[in-house]
């Protein structure tokens, strides 16, 4: 059960300086990632960038790709898009499995229990 004080993962709550500190980069790096299309933080009414916990998670993933694996930003973008697509496809496959099982349950008789 979630703590009543926990925010949803997509709730924008961190300003750029806090987000940069959490990830261990300069705020300019986050601006660059945004210009490169790797990230789209929310904006307040005053146009201040606000990062969610999901954004922080995404930034950490980008940092691992760039720093640990030596992937350039274009490659990181491709990997991030492909990872997202794979997750979508996995969800679709799981939904199809559930639908197929439901149809099987409707059309096929339940297995009989054998008497001993």
What CATH number corresponds to the domain at position 90?
Answer: 1.10.1660.10
Domain assignment present for residue 2? The answer is: no
Give the residue with greater pLDDT, 116 vs 59: 59
Q: Which class for 38: exposed (0-12), middle (13-18), buried (19 or more C-beta within 10 A)? A: buried
* Locus of tokens 């660059």: 32
Domain that holds residue 53: 14-107
Q: pLDDT digit string (tens) for 54-105? A: 999 999 999 999 999 999 999 999 999 999 999 999 999 999 999 999 999 8
Give the residue with greater pLDDT, 96 vs 114: 96
Q: Which class for 96: exposed (0-12), middle (13-18), buried (19 or more C-beta within 10 A)? A: exposed
Domain assignment present for residue 114? The answer is: no
> What total number of domains does the chain contain?
1
């Amino acid at each position: 059960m979630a703590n009543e004080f926990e925010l949803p993962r997509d709730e924008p709550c961190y300003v750029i300086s806090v987000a940069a500190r959490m990830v261990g980069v300069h705020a300019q790096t986050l601006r660059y990632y945004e210009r490169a299309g790797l990230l789209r933080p929310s904006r307040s009414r005053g146009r201040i960038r606000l990062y969610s916990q999901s954004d922080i998670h995404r930034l950490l993933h980008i940092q691992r790709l760039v720093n640990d694996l030596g992937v350039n930003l274009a490659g990181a973008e491709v990997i991030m898009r492909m990872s997202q697509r794979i997750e979508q496809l996995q969800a679709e496959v799981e939904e199809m499995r559930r639908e197929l099982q439901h149809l099987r349950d409707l059309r096929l008789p339940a297995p009989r229990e054998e008497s001993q």
